[in-house]
Amino acid sequence: MTQFFRGCFVTGTDTGVGKTVVTAALALCLKQQGLSVGVMKPIETGHAPDDSTVSDADRLRAIVEAPDPVGLVNPYRFSAPLAPLAAARLADSTIEMDRIVSAYETLATGHRMVVVEGIGGIMVPISPQRTVRDLIVRLGLPVVVVGRVTLGGVNHALLVVEALREHGVVTLGVVLNRPVAPPRSSTNSMQEESTVELMKEFSGVPVIGPLPHEDAFDQAWAVGLARMAQHPGIRELARLVMGSAT
């Protein structure tokens, strides 16, 4: 395991749960506390080779205004919108964990905090022998788990927390998110409330949220992110991350 540096690894119970939003909002909130914050997206897939689309890594770099080279922030970038191992194979490439760790260590020596965003969930393979969870263990970082507050979110989040615990990984907290605008109904409200209550009862870790669905993201990323960074849930998450570094 590499030397422990201050920061965290943001993973999700699945793809599309809002990892990038939480990662970016957390990084911005930490920066607003006066800290030098580095960001990293070790592996990204589905990025247009002509750079006609804005990647998650580009969004993260922009929000903290760090001059770090893109090769450090995002060592592996593949055009196919597939799981990382499948995308790497299609590109006739191999994802090497040592390369990711080296890039991370370089970033960590230049910043007070480094917030790392994963890809997919923790059991997603990145090589024939290694998963995202293996990368987390190698980096030695505590984890923030982003999950859905909708029905089914309890099972997914508890499985992730348990799988991390089995490998000695510290989970700083579970962030329950609304990646899409929820329907306005008494049934939905009851489902959300029960998800929060059950996660608090069974996870054994701090539970944050649910975070609001921020409509501004659909029109202006920076505006929506500025609002999200000020949300009490993100501020509490920043406090947990800073507390883990003392």
- Strands lying side by side in the sheet with 171-177: 37-40, 113-117, 7-12, 143-148, 171-177, 207-208
Among 19, 31, 41, 200, the active-site one is 41
**At residue 78, what is the residue type?**
F
**At residue 209, what is the residue type?**
G
Other Cβ atoms closer than 10 A to 182: 16
Half-sphere exposure at residue 185, Cβ-oriented, CA atoms within 13 angstroms: 6
Half-sphere exposure at residue 50, Cβ-oriented, CA atoms within 13 angstroms: 1
Give catalytic status of residue 41 as yes or no. yes
Contact (CB, 8 A) for 210 and 21 = no
DSSP 46: S
- Segment (H or E) for 157: helix 153-166
Active site amino acids: 41
